[in-house]
Amino acid sequence: MPTLITGWALLGGALLLAVVAVNVVSVLGAIFDAPFPGDFELTEMGVANAAFAFLPYCQLTRSNVTADIFTQNAGPRMVAFLRLLSSIVALLFGLLLLWRMYAGMLDQKQYNYETSILQVPIWMAFVPVLISLALLAVAAAITLAQDLRDLSRKG
């Protein structure tokens, strides 16, 4: 599963590079009077999907923002407990977002919302986000198991 999560983050990075390419083509097109229709729509969907693709990897590698200044004088058991707590929060947060984003996708699909220029069904942009959130929950479960083992060793 860690390999899948890493691969998903790399796909997110490739998507972000594609968004940059779209924007370069759009700017060059504006200079040469050859507009790129839908560049804003593609940028919006691409950046959102890329950002969500990075979340599971950040959780798995513990690369999220932390406030180490508060734990620098804490003992190993307290640090292990706080890491466990953060994994629980990440798991609950991932599951909550997965549930609500799924409901949002169903609403978008039911009402047939589309982007205004390219006429792309908006619900389709939710699918990679849902995959990212499911992987976030898996990554949080993995770190939670690691934290439980660490806490039991420190106690």
Mind listing the pLDDT tens digit for each residue in 118-141? 999 999 999 999 999 999 999 999
Q: What is the pLDDT of the chain when averaged over all its residues?
A: 95
Q: Where do we find the tokens 């798995």?
A: 60
Q: Residue ranges of the alpha helices (H) in 32-110?
A: 39-60, 76-110
Quick one: which of 31, 16, 43 has its CA closest to 120? 43
DSSP 111: T
Tokens found for residue 17: 């590079």
Taking the CB of residue 122, how many other CB atoms lie within 10 A of it? 18
Tokens found for residue 20: 């940059």
Q: Does the structure show a pLDDT above 80 at 34?
A: yes
Return the sign of the alpha-carbon dihedral for residues 97, 54, 87, 73.
negative
**Distances from the Cα of 145 to the Cα of 69, 88, 100, 114, 140, angstroms:** 25, 10, 25, 41, 9
Query: What's the confidence (pLDDT) of residue 155?
Result: 62
d(C-alpha 62, C-alpha 8), whole Å: 16
Query: What's the confidence (pLDDT) of residue 56?
Result: 98
Q: Does the structure show a pLDDT above 90 at 67?
A: no
